Amino acid sequence: LILSPELSSVPSVLGQILSEQFGPLPFMAPITRMKRKPSGQYLPTENREQVLGRRWAANAKERERIKKLNSCFSKLKSIVPLIPKDRKPSKVDMLKATTEYIRLLRLILEENGGVEVGAALTPAAGGWGALRAQLCIPLKCQKEGPSDSPGTGLPWV
Of the candidates 87, 83, 67, 85, the one whose C-alpha atom is nearest the C-alpha of residue 142 is 67
pLDDT digits (tens, 9 = 90+) for 26-47: 766 666 777 888 998 888 777 8
pTM over 0.85: no
| Alpha carbon 43 to chain centroid, angstroms | 34
CB 157 within 8 A of CB 66: no
Q: What mean pLDDT comes out for the span 58-81?
A: 94
Q: Can you name the residues that pair with 44 across neighbouring β-strands?
A: 34
Give the model's pLDDT for residue 36. 86
Please give the mean pLDDT across all residues of the chain: 74
User: 35 pairs with which residues across the strands?
Assistant: 43
Please give the Cα distance from 101 to 28 (Å, whole number).
46
Q: What confidence score (pLDDT) does residue 22 get?
A: 83
